[in-house]
Amino acid sequence: MPIRTNRGRAAVYRRIWGFPLRSPAHLVGTAVAVIVLIVAIGIVVPQLLGNPNRSGPTPVRIQDPGAGSSPTSAGSSPAPMSTRLTAPLLQPTSAAPDPAALRIAKQWATAWATHPDGITNAQWLDGLRPLTTEEYLPEMSTVDPANIPATRVTGEPTVTKSYTSSVEVLVPTDGPKLSITVAKTPSGWLVTGYDQAS
The domain of 44 spans 6-49
173, 152 contact by CB (below 8 A): yes
Q: Has this prediction a pTM greater than 0.85? A: no
Strands 177-185 and 166-171: antiparallel
> What's 100's DSSP letter?
H
Taking phi over 0 as left and psi of -120 to 50 as alpha, with beta for the rest, 138 belongs to: alpha
Q: Could you report the per-residue pLDDT of 113-146, keeping only the tens digit for each?
A: 988 888 899 999 999 999 999 999 898 888 888 8
Q: How many domains would you assign to the chain?
A: 2
Is residue 79 in a domain? no
Question: Is 26 a domain residue?
Answer: yes
Residues 113 and 171 in one domain: yes
Q: For position 129, which CATH number holds?
A: 3.10.450.540
* Same-domain pairing of 104 and 189: yes
What distance in Å separates the CA atoms of residue 57 and residue 9, rounded to the nearest whole number? Answer: 53
Is 87 among the domain residues?
A: no
pLDDT classification of 18: cutoffs 50, 70, 90? confident
pLDDT of residue 70: 47
For residues 36 and 103, membership in a common domain is answered with no
Is 166 part of a structural domain of the chain?
yes
Domain end: 14, 33, 49, which one?
A: 49
Are 45 and 109 part of one and the same domain? no
Is 74 contained in some domain?
no
Angstrom CA distances, 160 to 59, 61, 90, 157, 178, stand at 45, 45, 21, 10, 12
In a domain, 66, yes or no: no
Q: pLDDT, tens digit, for every residue of 25-48?
A: 888 888 899 999 999 998 888 888
